[in-house]
């Protein structure tokens, strides 16, 4: 379980810039909440997979939606904030009748469950994983947002993003194993 006081202290006093919404954040209460509600990571993941199945079945008889404007703003938002709401990117894939590969939704499910547990247990390796995931996603979702506007990048950019994704997976596994 979480302890109220950690030493050394890793609180807001260690940051030179603290945003207004961070000033009242209670890390102790947040940790207690994650510990008490850890099973929701599995519930959300199951609901996510069920909605993928339902959405794809429904879209089988529908015309693809033209969602370029919404997709642009969604990807820009994810690029800037890279929040867990990124699960919604799957809805754009399903509604536009684009291929949805196993690795895509498997990644979302495993990352959601892993990060929830990392928050709950104050897992130090979770911080490394989080920053790798945020950094790679910021670049990836910006790339996706620009592709919606028909801006084309050299093929090397797509290769770089894929390489970063693979590196993220390999690095996160090596962090977990050490």
Domain ranges within the chain, ordered by starting residue? 39-177
Q: Of 168 and 95, which is predicted with more confidence?
A: 95
Q: 137: closest CA among 111, 99, 106, 109?
A: 111
**Burial of 152: CB neighbours in 10 Å, binned 0-12, 13-18, 19+:** exposed
Q: Is 122 left (phi over 0), alpha (psi -120 to 50) or beta?
A: left
For the ranges 59-63, 77-81, 109-113, 137-141, which has the lowest average pLDDT?
77-81
Q: Of 80 and 73, which is predicted with more confidence?
A: 73
Mean pLDDT of all residues in 107-113: 81
pLDDT of residue 18: 76
- Measured N-to-C along each axis, helices 102-121 and 40-59 cross at an angle, to the nearest 10 degrees, of 160
Catalytic residue numbers?
A: 107
Structure confidence at residue 1 as a pLDDT band (50, 70, 90)? low
Q: How far apart are CA 124 and CA 4, in angstroms?
A: 17
Mean pLDDT of all residues in 105-112: 82
pLDDT, tens digit (0-9, with 9 covering 90-100), for 126-169: 777 777 888 888 888 899 889 889 899 999 999 998 898 888 87
What's the mean per-residue pLDDT of the chain? 82
Q: Of 38 and 118, which is predicted with more confidence?
A: 38
pLDDT, tens digit (0-9, with 9 covering 90-100), for 10-39: 566 666 777 787 788 777 788 788 889 999
The strand ranges marked E within 4-44 are none
**Burial of 50: CB neighbours in 10 Å, binned 0-12, 13-18, 19+:** exposed
Q: How far apart are CA 93 and CA 72, in angstroms?
A: 13
Q: Show Cβ contacts of residue 178 under 8 Å, excluding neighbours closer than 6 positions.
A: 125
For the ranges 9-13, 52-56, 70-74, 89-93, which has the lowest average pLDDT?
9-13
For the ranges 37-41, 69-73, 120-124, 158-162, which has the lowest average pLDDT?
120-124
């Amino acid at each position: 379980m979480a302890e109220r006081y950690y030493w050394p202290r890793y609180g807001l006093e260690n940051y030179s810039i603290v945003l207004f919404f961070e000033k009242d954040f209670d890390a102790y209460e947040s940790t207690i909440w994650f510990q008490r509600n850890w099973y929701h990571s599995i519930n959300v993941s199951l609901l996510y997979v069920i909605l993928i199945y339902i959405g794809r079945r429904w879209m089988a008889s529908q015309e693809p939606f033209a969602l370029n404007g919404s997709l642009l703003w969604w990807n820009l938002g994810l690029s800037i904030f890279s929040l867990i709401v990124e699960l919604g990117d799957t809805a754009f894939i399903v509604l536009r009748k684009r291929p949805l590969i196993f690795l895509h939704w498997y990644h979302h499910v495993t990352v959601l469950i892993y990060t929830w547990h990392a928050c709950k247990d104050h897992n130090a390796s979770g911080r490394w994983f989080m920053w790798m995931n945020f950094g790679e996603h910021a670049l990836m979702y910006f790339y996706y947002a620009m592709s919606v506007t028909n801006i084309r990048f050299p093929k090397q950019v797509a290769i770089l993003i894929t390489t970063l994704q693979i590196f993220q997976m390999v690095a996160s596994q090596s962090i977990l194993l050490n």
